[in-house]
Amino acid sequence: MRRLLIAGNWKMHLDLRGAIVLASELKRELGEVDDRDLAVFPPFPFIADVADTLSGTAIEVGAQNLHPEPEGAFTGEVSGAMLASVGCQWVIVGHSERRNQFGESDEFLNAKLRAALGAGLKPILCVGEHLAEREAGEAEAVVRRQLEADLAGLSAEQFARVTIAYEPVWAIGTGRTATPAQANEMQGAIRRLLAERFGSGPAEQCRILYGGSVKPANARALLAEPEIDGALVGGASLKAADFCAIARG
């Protein structure tokens, strides 16, 4: 049985003091949770401090982005090795906000995914369709195109270290959420696509998270679905009480 992963994406929120306070609250409330995996993704400037605060707990730390090159003249960018050196274990690749607001292509995301794996990080690859694509009946085709391009050239061994997050773009930060049945249907389709590429065994072992306005009120129903292996939580991860409620199930 796949072990649930609850991940909190803090996006561009908080200051250093707020990040440490939030991490301290999570440490107190969730530090000994052992029946599921937990991770938080602070903004870059706070990663080392949050990692120090959570040291010795079951809560791991990740970054929200990385550059595909290991070093170079890339002002404002951060490499996978840099992230690993300050306590990162995870990194998000291909969040819809990176795809849509910053124009990141699937080719670029494939390079990022390879860089993350090369740096020893565990990537969460995000995929998902826009509302118009869903209404046109193209949701599965869109997700297939993303997965095929983003995972191109990866071996089964590399893929074994990748987590997928299905994030319908129309549900991110909008208050709208895919129903548990909608999310489970798409995530089942994703698993079938992965089986075509990597075989049924690796596809069955891959964790597929749901992301998109996850909150305490809907998390239990979403996580009860058989194809949903956890949640990538946005706004609700900024409130310790809400994130703890989701994490405890």
Task: Please identify every residue annotated as catalytic.
Answer: 95, 167
**How does DSSP classify residue 35?**
S
Q: Which of 242, 232, 189 is nearest to 210 (CA)?
A: 232
User: CA 177, CA 7: separation in Å to the nearest integer?
Assistant: 17
Strands 163-166 vs 208-211: parallel, antiparallel or unpaired: parallel
Coil, helix or strand for 160? coil
Contact 123, 117 (CB under 8 A): yes
Q: Provide the sign of the torsion angle of the four alpha carbons 10, 11, 16, 18, taken in this order.
A: negative
> For residue 235, which amino acid is it?
G
Contacts of 51 (CB under 8 A, 6+ apart): 61, 86, 87, 88
Contact 115, 79 (CB under 8 A): yes
For 206, phi then psi, to 5°, come to -65, 135
Q: Where are the beta strands (DSSP E) in the chain?
A: 5-9, 37-41, 59-63, 90-93, 122-127, 163-166, 208-211, 230-233
